[in-house]
Amino acid sequence: MKKNKTLIILGAGGHGRVVADCAESLGIYTDIIFLDDCFSARKKNAHWIIAGPISSWIDYNDNTEFIVAMGNNLLRASLLQQLFSAKRCVATLIHPTAFVSEKCNLGLGVVIFANAVINVDAHIEDGCIINTSATIDHDCHIHAYCHISPGVNIAGGVEVGQYSWLGIGSSVVEYITIAKNTQSGAGAVITKSTQSNTLYLGIPATPVRSLI
C-alpha cells in the first residue's frame, strides 16, 4: 500500500510510542509526528519528532489523520471530541497481529494493539484502547473512551460502560454489565455487574472505593 498520509499523534508519552510503533507497522504513513505540551523542553519521543504543543493540531488538516494517545479516558475523550467537532480525519489503528472479526463494529479513534482479539458481533465505540493481548469475545459492547488494559479477558455478551478502565490481567465473566466509569485493579475477576464510578479489586472483585 502506498504511503501518502501523515499521522499526528496527540500525546508523547510511553503509550504514544506504542501507538506510533503500531501505526508504523501498518506501512501507510509517510510521516508520524507527535504533538505534546512538553514541546518547549523536548523535541523527540524516542524515534519520532515532537513538532509542537497539543493545541497546534489546528494547523494540520490536508492529507492528515489524527489519533489521541493518552491513557486518561476523560482527557482522550475531550481531545477527540475537539477533533470530531473540527471535522478532522480521526484514524483507527489495528496492529497487524491483532485478530478483529470482519463482523464487528469499530468506532473512530480506536487503537487495537498487538495480539488482541475482538470476536464476532462485538461493538467497540469511539476512542477506546484495546491493549496488548486483550480479548473481547462475541457480542460485547465496549462504550466510548474505555481502556481495556493488556491481558484483559472479557467473555461473551458483556457491556462495558463509558470511561471504564479495566486493569492489566482483569477478567470479566459472561453477560454482565460493567457500569460507567468502573475501574478494576490488576488481576481482578469481575463476576457480577458493577456500580458506576467505583474501583473494584480482588478475586472475586469487590467495590473498595468511590471514584468521585
Measure Cα distances from 140 to 94, 102, 130, 152, 174 in Å.
18, 15, 13, 13, 9
Q: Do 83 and 161 have their domain in common?
A: no
Q: Domain range for residue 179?
A: 94-203
Q: 1 pLDDT exceeds 60? A: no
Q: What is the rounded CA–CA span in Å between residue 161 and residue 199?
A: 13
pLDDT (tens digit, 9 = 90+) per residue, 163-189?
A: 999 999 999 999 999 999 999 999 999
| Residues 181 and 87 grouped into a single domain | no
Rounded distance, CA 164 to CA 136, Å?
Answer: 15
129-161 pLDDT, tens digit per residue, is 999 999 999 999 999 999 999 999 999 999 999
Q: What pLDDT is stored for residue 62 in this prediction?
A: 87
The H or E element containing residue 89 is none
Q: Is 210 inside any structural domain?
A: no
Task: State the residue for C-alpha cell 499523534.
Answer: 9
Calculate the CA dihedral of residues 147, 122, 18, 96 and round it to 10 degrees.
170
In a domain, 212, yes or no: no
The answer to whether the CB of 88 falls within 8 A of the CB of 77 is no
pLDDT (0 to 100) of residue 112? 98
Last residue of a domain, one of 69, 91, 113: 91
201 has a pLDDT exceeding 60: yes
CA distance 184 to 102: 29
Same domain flag for 100 and 38: no
Looking at the structure, do residues 103 and 82 belong to the same domain, yes or no? no
| Count of other CB atoms within 10 angstroms of residue 137 | 19
Write out pLDDT tens, residues 91-135.
Answer: 999 999 999 999 999 999 999 999 999 999 999 999 999 999 999
Which pLDDT belongs to residue 2? 55
Q: Within 10 Å of residue 51's Cβ, how many Cβ atoms? A: 17
Residues 117, 79 share a domain: no
Residue 16, SS3 per DSSP:
helix
The number of distinct structural domains making up the chain is 2
Residue 9 maps to a domain: yes
The answer on 196 and 99 residing in a single domain is yes
The pLDDT score that the predictor gives to residue 105 is 98
Final residue before a domain boundary, out of 67, 91, 115: 91
CATH number at residue 54: 3.40.50.20
In the predicted structure, residue 79 carries a pLDDT above the cut 90: yes
Pair 132, 195 in one domain: yes
